[in-house]
Structures are given as structure tokens and as C-alpha cells.
Structure 1
Amino acid sequence: MSIKLTILGCHSASPRKNAFPTAQFLEIKERKFLIDCGEGTQVLLRKHKVQFSKIKHIFISHLHGDHFYGLIGLISTFGLHGRKNDLHIYGPKGIKEIITLQIKLAKSWTKYKLLFHELENLESELIFEDKKVEVYTIPLSHRIYTNGFLFKEKLGERKLNMDVIRSNPKIEICDYHNLKKGKDYISEDGNSIILNSKLTLPPSKPLSYAFCSDTQYLPSIVPIIKNVDILYHESTFLEDKKELTKQTKHSTAKEAASIAQQANVGQLILGHYSSRYDNLELFKEEAKTIFTNIYLAESGKVFEIKQL
């Protein structure tokens, strides 16, 4: 099991020469998700050699331009490359209208299916699920309807205890599948039974990642993201500009750290920095007064957790 997060863009507002708006590429349990799609996202996908043709699901937090203005370009590029696979887009109600209007006026209908999953629930809800992964919304508090997203691995198969298995020569390779599924070993004649708990070990703890941008300080999200392995939380301002958080509905680095501390997360990634600041290390220094395991997002940076 593993989580691999590639930061594409992590700055707020308009793009600049070396500061790109929000976009992330998440690989979890062999699934590849795009989270937000600010202007220039597809260029950054190429720059950082991300296999973006493998993306089947895109999650858009809200309809401010720095979080989705790159989406129509990416959709168009997929079409130019002859994409055939369906593309699922999860985002606030209205995203279907915005995207389809652009396609309609450009007379550039895709030959692959665009499947929109429009969101308007104010409570956390399950929006994606397959055999290995679940995705939930994290309702946030911004100037318009906004969600974060919680990505969770499902509990995997049990691990084979090969030392014990080798001491039981009657157990064959063809039995391994049932053992991983938690079944006891039963001999062909039915006279011998070995409990699964003696032949296997518990599965690895499922990994999880929470994405929270944009939002003002919001303790109500703590129960949703409790104990996640990685939390990305916006930190637009430092405490010196805290008065701006009320009118813009953003957070400070210290407030992001407080959320991480309350939720007992494994590590905190700060991002969505205001262009007012040149020294980003100040965000880390301020947040470390509350929470210690902190990293700064930057374009091209990769965060990875692996479990055997």
C-alpha cells in the first residue's frame, strides 16, 4: 500500500512565472486522481512527467478560477490525443454548465464521455468508491460553496505468515488466495483445519490523504480528517495578516497547524500561499509553534508513504 502525492501548483490567486495555482496529482492504491486544475496544470503535468493520460477522475474543490481554469484546456488536450476512456469530474453544481458551454461555443465536443458528478451537499458524503479506495467530501467554509476531499484506502488482504506456512507442507500455493481473504485452511479430506489467524498476519493499516483548500479556520472538519496520514491545508496568510482571513475566508499557517494538531494527523503540508510573502519558510516556522511534522508545498515536490 502506498500514497504518492505530486504537487503541481500551490499558490493562491493569479499564476506568476514561478508560482502556479492549485493542482495536485494523487496516486493511491494504483488509482490516479487529479485534485483541482488551476491554470497551467497540463503544462505542469508534462513538466513533472506525470502520466496524465491515466487520469479517470478529477476532483474540483470550488469554482474560483485558480482552482479550475485549467480544466477546459486539459479536457481539450485529452480529445486531441484521441482519448476514448470516460472522464469523471466531481465538483460544485454549475461545473457541468461552465464546461459544456465552452465546448458548445467552440464546437469541440469530445469523442469520449464527460461524466459530471455535481455536488451541493453541506454534509460530508461518499462520492467515489471502488474495491480499493473511497473518497469523501470535506465541507469547507469559503466565499462560495467549497469542498475538500478525503481519500482513503480500504482495508487490504491479510498477509501470509510464510514461516508458519512452510512448516505445513500440505498447504499449497493455490491455497494462498483463500488465506489472504481470511479463510481457514481445510485439507482436501476435511480432517485437518488450521485457523487463519495462525497462518496469516493482519493487513497493513489503510493509508489516507486529506485535501483542504480553500477555507477559513474550521474545527468542524477535525472529526472527518481524524488520524489521516497526510493533510494538505491551505495557509494563505501568516498571523500578521490574520485580519484578512475574515473577509477572504482563508487560513493562516498557525490555524492550519492547529487543525493538524487537533486531528492528530501524521504530517501537514502547507500551501496556497499569498503573493504578499517572499520567504515561505516563515509559514513553516509559524506553524511549528503548534505542530511539528510540517512540510511546505512547492511545484514538483513529491510526498510518498509506503507500507509493506
Structure 2
Amino acid sequence: MEFELRILGSSSATPSANRHPTAQLLTIGNQHHLIDCGEGTQMQLMRYKIKHQRICNIYISHLHGDHYFGLPGLLSTMHLQGRHTPLHLFGPPGLSEILSLQFKYSGTNLTFDLVFHELDTTVYQQIFEDKDITVHTIPMEHRIPCCGFLFREKPRPRPLIKEKLPAFLTHAQLVALKRGEDITDADGSLLVLNAEVTLEPKKSRSYAFCSDSRFKPDLLPHLRHVDLLYHEATFADELRERASYTYHSTAAQAAELAAAAQVRHLLLGHFSVRYKDLTPLLHEALDVFPQSSLAVEGNIFQVEEKEIVQLQMQKAE
């Protein structure tokens, strides 16, 4: 099953000539999850040939404009193009009111159901579940209510060794074996030992999106052994005091957290427009955590069982 992250925007506060405000698209299986929706997100979706009508859920971390100003426009385009599939929107208190006023005074009655889920940004809790994944909020420490999001695949089924399966097994028993259960008869006597007819399942994958926040070591229990961690890195470490004052983090701090959490790979983003060249931020992180990359527009990060593969999105002509 596909598990890949596409970077649509990575700038903080204001866009620059070559960087857009925060927006990411996480694809798990055949589901598109949009994480934050900074100004121009729908243009980025078009630029990289991503069909926005496939988006099933949108997650907004907080109500600073660089994380949601693109949302009214994207929803309006979905409406104008005749979307009918319900769309689930997860965001902090106030977002529903903002959108309601926007649509009220523009006389817009959406052609689809917009299902709003108001988040408590102060707690770690599950907010979404389907047959493949769960999504939890991660409390951030920012100037206004803000949370990140943790996406985890559910435990994957154990592969069956077909040549070792007894012929008498029913469909229900085969499903039980995939769940890791032994097969017993009505009296409880063992009929089939799971370990003898199944293989170890593939590792479940995970992605953590840590939005705007001061350096927050108490996130470690939520981030430990995550496959792919995105963490804001607004400033270089020489501005660590300014980062704390403005409720942001440095590239070195993001790397420190990644190293302590023993994640597989770290992505840096939310870069201040003062940095025209991002190389110093990357080197700063690499000195602490060698498995670090920049989350810049157009990059794709595929989470595989044994590696993180970095690719480049193709732009529309």
C-alpha cells in the first residue's frame, strides 16, 4: 500500500518567490490527506498534477494565516467543480466560524457536505480512524492553540504460507490466522499453530507532522520510532532565543528531538524568509541527526519498509 508525503509549501509567515506557505499531501493507499492549506495550495495541487477532488480529509494545525488562508479558495473550487463526496475537516475552534462567514457573505451553498471536527489542541487523542490508519493530535506549544498530527498504519496482516495451510480451514479461520491467532476446535484443542503457517507481517508505517512550536522535549513519547518526522525549523540555532520568544524552533532543536525519539528520518520545514539558501539549516541538522532532509516544494518522500525514498514531483506543462 502506498504511503507517501508530497511537499506543497514550506515557507513560514509569508511566501517568497520560490517557497509557498505550509501545505502537505499525505497519500495512504487510495486516500489523500491534506495537512495545512496555506495560501496558493490549490495552485500547487494543479502545478503538481494532484486531483484535489480525491482529498478525503483536511487537517489544519492552527489559525495563523500561513497555515489556512488557502482553504476557502480550495473549498470554493471543489464546490464550483461539483464535488458531491463529503469532506472531513479537522481544525481548532474558530475555523468553522471563519468558513461559515466566508460562505455566508459570498452566498455559497456547498454542493458537498463539509463535516467539521473541532479539535482540542491541548491533548493527545485519536481524531480519525478507518480500516487502514489512525490519526492522533499532538499538542504543540505555540502562541495560539496549535497541534500536530500523527498518522499510523494499523497492524498489517500476517502473510499466509499457502502450501502449509490445511485444506479444512474456513474463510473465518484464515482471517483469524492473518490476525495472528491460533486455530482451535470447539473444545479448545489446538488445530493449527499460527507460527507454522504464517510469516511476520510487514512493519506498520507512521508519519508525524509537528507544526509551529517551541522546542518541546515532552513530545518524545508520541514520536518515538516514527518512520518520518516533519518538524518546523524556522530559524538557525544562532537565533535560538528568538525562536523561543516567537514560539518557534531551530533546525538543531528539530534534529535533537529526532535523535532522542530515534525516528527513521527527519524533515525540516517552515523556513523563515530570511534564509534564501537553506543549506546552512540542513547542515545544522545533519550535524546532530544524519538522516535529515529539507521539506521543500516538489519533494516526495515514500515510506518503504526498509528505507525512505526521496523523489521529485512532475510539474504540469
- State TM-score, norm by structure 2: 0.89
Moved over 3 A (4+): 162-165, 168-179, 181-187
Q: Distance in 1 between matches of 2:264 and 2:284?
A: 18
1:221 paired residue number: 219
Report the Cα distance in structure 1 between the residues aligned to 2:201 and 2:132, rounded to whole angstroms: 13
Alpha-carbon distance in 1 for matches of 2:190, 2:205: 37
1:12 and 1:116 map into 2 onto residues whose CA distance is: 26
How many angstroms does 1:14 deviate by? 1.4
Change beyond 3 A, Cα 1:194–1:87:
same
Offset at 1:226?
1.0
Alignment partner of 1:205: what SS?
Answer: coil
- Deviation of 1:120 after TM superposition, in Å, equals 2.7
User: Equivalents in 2 of 1:270, 1:134: separation in Å?
Assistant: 24
Residue 123 of structure 1: aligned partner:
123
Aligned residues: 304
Taking the aligned partners of 2:257 and 2:192, their CA distance within structure 1 comes to 47
Gaps of 5+ in 1: none
For the aligned residues, what is the CA RMSD?
2.2
Cα distance in structure 1, aligned partners of 2:194 and 2:69? 52
Q: Which residue of 1 aligns with 2:310?
A: none
One-letter identity of the residue aligned with 2:242: L
Counterparts of residues 67-78 of structure 1 (less than 5 Å):
67-78=67-78
Instruction: Report how far residue 2 of structure 1 moved.
Output: 4.1
Q: Secondary structure in 1 aligned to 2:271?
A: coil
Letter in structure 1 aligned against 2:4: K
The answer to which of 156-165 and 253-262 deviates more is: 156-165
* Structure 2 unaligned blocks of 5 or more: 307-317
Deviation of the 1:131 alpha carbon: 2.0
When normalised by structure 1's length, the TM-score is 0.92
Q: Which amino acid aligns with 2:273?
A: S
- 2:315 match: none
Question: How far apart in 2 are the matches of 1:124 and 1:174?
Answer: 35
Q: Equivalent residues in 2 for 1:7-46 (5 A)? A: 7-46=7-46
Rounded Cα–Cα distance in structure 2 between residues aligned with 1:241 and 1:174: 59
Q: Which amino acid aligns with 2:270?
A: H
The yes-or-no answer on 1:197 pairing with 2:195 is yes
Q: Which amino acid aligns with 1:115?
A: V
How far is the alpha carbon of 1:161 from its aligned partner?
2.1
Q: Which residue of 1 aligns with 2:90?
A: 90
Q: 1:74 to 1:160 in 2, by over 3 A?
A: same
1:160-179 mapped onto 2 (5 Å cutoff): 160-162=160-162, 164-165=164-165, 176-179=174-177
Q: Cα gap change, 1:96/1:199 in structure 2, threshold over 3 Å: closer, same or farther?
A: same
Q: Alpha carbons of 1:274 and 1:121: their partners in 2 closer, same or farther (altered >3 Å)?
A: closer
CA distance 1:237–1:173, change in 2 (3 Å): same
Look up the SS of the partner of 2:203 in the other structure: coil
1:105 aligns with 2:105: yes
Question: Are the structure 2 counterparts of residues 215 and 192 from structure 1 closer, same or farther at C-alpha, using a change threshold of 3 Å?
Answer: closer
Deviations 1:41-96 (A, max 9, x none): 01111111123211111000000000000000010011011111111111110000
Among 260, 263, 271, the alignment partner of 2:261 is 263
State the shift of 1:246 in Å. 2.4
Percent identical: 44
Following superposition, the deviation at residue 163 of structure 1 comes to 5.1
Cα distance, 1:48–1:200 mapped onto 2, change above 3 Å: same
- Counterpart code for 1:153: E
2:132 paired residue number: 132
SS in 1 for 2:177: helix
Q: What is the alpha-carbon distance in structure 1 between the residues aligned to residue 99 and residue 241 of structure 2? A: 35
Counterpart-to-counterpart distance in 2, 1:176 and 1:231: 36
> Aligned partners of 1:51, 1:240: CA distance in 2, in Å?
41
| Residue 273 of structure 1: aligned partner | 271
- Evaluate the alpha carbon distance shift between residue 240 and residue 193 of structure 1 in structure 2; reply closer, same or farther with a 3 A threshold: same
